[in-house]
Amino acid sequence: MTTFELMNLPYAQDALAPVISPETVGFHYGKHLQTYVNNLNAAIAGTPFAEKSLEEIVCIAEGGILNNAGQILNHNLYFSQFMAPQEDNRPKGPLAEAIKKTFGSLEQFQEEFVKKGAGLFGSGWVWLSATTEGDLVITQEPNAANPIQKGLVPLLTFDVWEHAYYLDYQNRRPDHLKALWAIVNWKVVAERYGR
C-alpha cells in the first residue's frame, strides 16, 4: 500500500527570500501541502488508489482524491523548481532554443506566462509544458488540474492560489509572478524537458 509523504525541500525555508518569505514557505509547504498529503492518504486507504502512483491517480481519479493528488503533484513540481535568487537568471541549451523559437525571446515568454497567470480567474496554476513532439505550450489550469491530464509534459509552473503569495504580496499577484523569475532553477526545468 502506498502512503504518500511530504516532499523534501531542496533548499532552506529562508533560501527564496525576499522573493518568497520564510513565513510563506512555512505555511505553503509546511501546512497547505502537508494537509493535501494527509487528506490523500486518508482518502485512498483501503481503496484501489492505494496501489497507484500520484500521476496515475491524477489521470483517473475524481472528486476529493483527484483534488488532493493533483495539489500534491503540482506542489512537488512547484517547490522543486526553485533556488535562491539569481541575477540574470536564464535557461540554456535546447530549452532556451525552444523558448526562443516558440515565443520569440525569453522576455516575451515571461511576459506571456505572467499575463496568463495574472489573468487566471480564481485559484489555479499557469504552466509551461511540452508536447510529445517537444513543442512548448503555456496553459492555465484551474484548481488542482495538471497538464498531464491533457497528455502534456509539465515543465514549469507558478501557483496562483492566494495562499502562494498573500502574506508577501497581498492582492499584487502580477508583482509576485514577475518576482518568481529570479528563483526559477532552469536546470531543473531543462531536465524535465529532457531534450
The residues binding Mn ion (CB under 5 A) are 159, 161, 164
Closest approach, Cβ 78 to Mn ion, in A, equals 7
| Pick 28 or 116: Cβ nearer Mn ion | 28
Closest approach, Cβ 29 to Mn ion, in A, equals 9
Give the chain as a DSSP string: -----PPPPSS-TTTTTTTS-HHHHHHIIIIIIHHHHHHHHHHHTTSGGGGS-HHHHHHH--HHHHHHHHHHHHHHHHHTTB-S--SS----HHHHHHHHHHHSSHHHHHHHHHHHHHT--SSEEEEEEE-TTS-EEEEEEETT--GGGGT-EEEEEEE-SGGGTHHHHTT-HHHHHHHGGGGB-HHHHHHHH--
| Pick 65 or 164: Cβ nearer Mn ion | 164
| Pick 72 or 190: Cβ nearer Mn ion | 72
User: By beta-carbon distance, which residue lies closest to Mn ion?
Assistant: 159
Closest approach, Cβ 143 to Mn ion, in A, equals 11
Beta-carbon contacts of 8 under 8 Å, excluding residues fewer than 6 positions away, are none
Closest approach, Cβ 57 to Mn ion, in A, equals 18
| Pick 25 or 98: Cβ nearer Mn ion | 25
Closest approach, Cβ 74 to Mn ion, in A, equals 7
| Pick 85 or 159: Cβ nearer Mn ion | 159
